[in-house]
Every structure is written in C-alpha cells, then in structure tokens.
Structure 1
Amino acid sequence: MSQLALRLPDSLHERARMLAQRDNTSLNQFIALAVAEKVSALETASFFSERAARGNLDDLRAILDKVPDEAPTAGDER
C-alpha cells in the first residue's frame, strides 16, 4: 500500500473529516473511497467514449428502422 502527503484547503479537510465521521469511517478510508469513485467514473466515461467511437451510425439507424411505429404496450409508456 502506498502513502502520500496530501495538501487540502482547511475547509475541505474539515468537511471531509465531518463526513467521514458521520459515515462512521476514518478520514483515510473516506479519501481512499473518494479517489476510487473518481477513478471509476473516469474509467467508465473513457470506456463508453471508446465504445461510441467504434460504433456505426448507419448500423444504428438500420436497427432503429426495424422498430415498429406503434404505441407502447399499456404500462410501458414511460
């Protein structure tokens, strides 16, 4: 496991400390989880961007053209 020195503005440090306490966890665990969430969000966005770049709009349109133009089944309106 790595260690690092982290500089935070006092106000952010205090808010993180309070939220960690409210979540009944250590500040270290709170910050580790926050970093993990951010890494996951960025990797997910990158994954979908790469998938979209490989997509083909003509293929999508061909698939959508096969969908019948009719009202949704009762209960599926949303």
Structure 2
Amino acid sequence: MRRSNFALRVPPTLLAEARKAAESEGVALNQLITLALAEKVSAMRTEEYFEERARRADPAKVSRILSRVGKGNPPIEGDELPLEFAARKVKKKK
C-alpha cells in the first residue's frame, strides 16, 4: 500500500488528548489518527449504504411483514418506527 504524507493542523488541546489516547492504547500517534480516520470514513459509508437501502424500501411490504411478526407480544419501548417512515404513503394491496 502506498503511503502519503499530509500536514495536519490540530488544535493543541486535541493533539494533547490524542497523544494521551495513543499512549494509553500503546500505539503511535500516527496509527491512532489513521485508525480514527478509517473508522470515521467507514461509518459515513455505512450510513450512506443504509440510507440508499431505505430509499429503495417498499413501505407497504415492510408493513405487511411487520404485521406478521411478534404476534402475542406487546410492543416495548424502542419498537416504534421512525417518524419519516410513518409519514411515507403506504398503499395497501387488494
């Protein structure tokens, strides 16, 4: 893998905290920064992936599937659908 150098301007307080974190993890500061950047990029790509999947979702189909699961089990906190999902128009099949 080819490596590049990049001058990074970091506020002194953040740099001090990063150095402490790297030391406590037993890694070089460069490795800590590289890992943190990789984790952030991965999280952003994952979020984009699921947003795209949600755009392609069929709310009517999801509702039909959800209506079949959990029969006899009352909903618990956290089971509710996001407001944006409920706001989408759901067409019922006849």
What TM-score bracket applies, with the shorter chain setting the length?
0.7 to 0.9
Residues 20-76 of structure 1 show CA distances to partners (whole Å, capped at 9, x for unaligned) of: 01100000000000000100110010000000000010011111223363138xxxx
Amino acid at match of 2:44: L
- Aligned to 1:47, which of 29, 46, 49? 49
Q: State the SS of the aligned residue for 1:15.
A: helix
Q: Between Structure 1 and Structure 2, which shows a larger proportion of helix residues?
A: 1
How much is the aligned-residue C-alpha RMSD, in angstroms?
Answer: 1.4
The total of aligned residue pairs comes to 72
Higher relative contact order (CA 8 A, sep 6+): 2
Q: Which runs of 5+ in 2 are unaligned?
A: 75-94
Aligned partner of 2:61 in structure 1 is: 59
- Between the aligned partners of 2:26 and 2:13, the Cα distance in structure 1 is 20
**Which 4+ stretches in 1 moved above 4 angstroms?**
none
Give the alignment's TM-score, normalised by structure 2. Answer: 0.71
How does the TM-score come out when normalised to structure 1?
A: 0.85
